[in-house]
Amino acid sequence: MKELVELLHKPEPVVEETAPAVQAAVQSTSEEVRGVAALAAATLQTKQREEGYWVADLTADSTLLSDYILLQIWLHPPDENGEWNPPTMPRIRKAVRSILDSQRPDGGWNTYEPGSSEINATVRAYAMLKMTGMDTDDPRMRAARNLILKMGGIQECNSYTKLNYSLFDLFPRRYCPTIPPEIMTIPGNLLYEMSSWTRTIIVPLSIVQATGVTHRTPHNLRISELFHPHRKLALHRKDRIANLFIKADTLFKRWERQKFNRKVREYAVHVAETWMLSRLHFSDGLGAIYPSMMYSIMAMDALGYERDHPDLQQAIRQFDDLMLEGEETMVFQPCKSPVWDTAIATFALGELGGADPARMTAAADWLLDREIRRKGDWSAKRPNLTPSGWVFEFANEFYPDIDDTAMVLLALLHAKASDPDKQARAERRGVNWILGMQSKDGGWAAFDVDNNWSILNKIPFADHNAMLDPTCPDITGRVLESLCRRGFKETDAPIARGIDFLLLNQNVNGSWFGRWGVNYVYGTFLAIRGLVSTGADRARDAVAKGARWLKEVQNPDGGWGESCLGYDTHRFERTVSTPSQTAWALLGLIAAGEIYSSAVQQGVRWLRERQLPDGTWEESVTTGTGFPRVFYIQYHLYKDYFPILALGTYAKQMQAS
């Protein structure tokens, strides 16, 4: 294994052949490549749902299962004797079995593949295994406990792990950051300076904290053995500004205990509750993401909602709908990705050509029916912008995102709806909405505009590394391509500003950071495609540098593979080649004019040789990003539709040359 790792970190130099020689060698294979892509496309089309959309499993790490058990203890607390037999016990047993199945040889649990054990995932797994009756003398529990203490104990966990366990008196409340509902009443829209996902997490969590509700654990079990004897419990002190927030947190805890503030607190909780409930409508759960949905259930329960209350029932039903349940095991999805999967699948099929027109029309009709027509949180900063855009999930009306909207607009270039006028109107609104969501620095973020108050990262509960939604190269690149494919030019002000953003944010080595995909390969391929689509002469050097970097990080086997570890080390971290990342690199290189390079030929060959008989590919490495350094996602269709897009693009350009 050591030799393999060393080999992967020493890529063989790519020897470039002369263009005429390579051209003569590869032109005969373009039809073969198209055949490979066509086989994959045929399989992909069979996965389209009758309604017109695609959606694949979206999976993450064991923390979702651990938190599911935690929620069951909250909703179905043990009796006075400590006995715990909730109605969901069959599912809890499946969750336990799945958690144990994912334990690593060193006793811990990781947050991405291939990745080392991580403290939060390991503490959560151990704690919930103990709560469900696992013997702490079991060798698996001993291994986990020893590893936790070796990593610094529960004191090294992030705020959300500590907050979760403080609700059961498993971690001292006084050493957890306060999330006051009074945030809702501060003038100046402070809440909307935080990222959309942070908003939907902290509002219900602030309600839970404010009510002061705590629950017993089964048999009053504790996890004191996870506390490192030589580590402090106090909030981590990072720098002077962070220390000021910690002092403010201490003062706020004192203020909370005063009787005179009760009316202020009651009003703040009411505002938070109203905000939360309003965002449950037209949505598959609050924010349509796992943590927000979980905390909204806990918040309604803490507020005294009876179990037959329709809002609580709906929230639980939507949360449970994230499960992927088998006979013996269970996996939880962090959310669902139908719009995203449908847009990319449709675009890939359209770029390849030859897709069934009826299937493409069904996809277009389905997408058009999901255009957002009401104002959401984004309108706090863009109140006069006409609503439009698309979300990631089936329904999440308050949170359309720019990335999905750009991707849908690319898909609709190929997919023609049954109502052309409706499509034209939706496309026009979508383009205008994207233009209106450009940030001051020229880039585009995911959900918001100018969401970049870096001082908020100093708040004690900001250590989930997702307090803000800043502009990023990957989304900006996709937006530029989407707009320029619709006729925008480099001389148009939004395009010129987007180009400036990408040129300014290119790394010295030629790569770009990838916020929503792993990592530099993702950011670089999208930045290159965006810049090339503008036709800007001033971007040529940047594109060439980006292409050169992609070739430098190619694996010896001809593919590309990048680990999530790079988010921690802030550099490219090589891993085994993957279909999705190989496709991304090929798309970047082909856009940069490198179609005849050895790097592209080797990458195409890598995909051809590893295609399975049914036209798909295998991929075990995590290539999707949720919160860098904290939470990662495995998109189960990435391995199929991105290679179709790459191979189809290759074949089309070869045929045209």
Catalytic residue set: 403
Whose structure tokens read 């069959």? Answer: 90
In the chain, the amino acid numbered 505 is N
The Cα 296–Cα 290 span in angstroms is 10
Nearest to 196 by CA among 283, 87, 298, 113: 283
At 35, is the secondary structure helix, strand, or coil? Answer: helix
The Cα 643–Cα 474 span in angstroms is 18
Nearest to 587 by CA among 607, 567, 571: 607
Q: Are strands 58-59 and 631-635 parallel, antiparallel or unpaired?
A: antiparallel
- Those residues whose C-beta lies under 8 Å from the C-beta of residue 162, and which sit 6 or more positions away, are 154, 171, 175, 176
Alpha-helix runs per DSSP H in 110-170: 119-131, 139-150, 159-166
Contact call for residues 395 and 374 (beta carbons, < 8 A): no
H or E element, residue 325:
strand 323-325
At 633, is the secondary structure helix, strand, or coil? Answer: strand
H or E element, residue 58:
strand 58-59
Nearest-10 Cα torsion for 364, 365, 369, 372: 20
The Cα 248–Cα 252 span in angstroms is 6
Q: Where are the beta strands (DSSP E) in 461-507?
A: none
Contact call for residues 159 and 432 (beta carbons, < 8 A): no
Question: DSSP assignment, residue 451?
Answer: B
Contact call for residues 355 and 347 (beta carbons, < 8 A): no
- Buried b / exposed e over 225-241, threshold 16 CB at 10 Å, is ebbbeeeeeebeeeeee
Nearest to 544 by CA among 609, 492, 597: 597
The Cα 448–Cα 626 span in angstroms is 16
Token couple for 206: 């602030």
Task: Identify any residues that bridge with 325 across adjacent strands, giving them in sequence order.
Answer: 330
- Those residues whose C-beta lies under 8 Å from the C-beta of residue 151, and which sit 6 or more positions away, are 108, 117, 119, 122
The Cα 441–Cα 186 span in angstroms is 27
Nearest to 416 by CA among 368, 372, 481: 368
- Buried b / exposed e over 21-60, threshold 16 CB at 10 Å, is ebeeebeebbeebbebbbbbbeebeeebeeebbbbbebbb
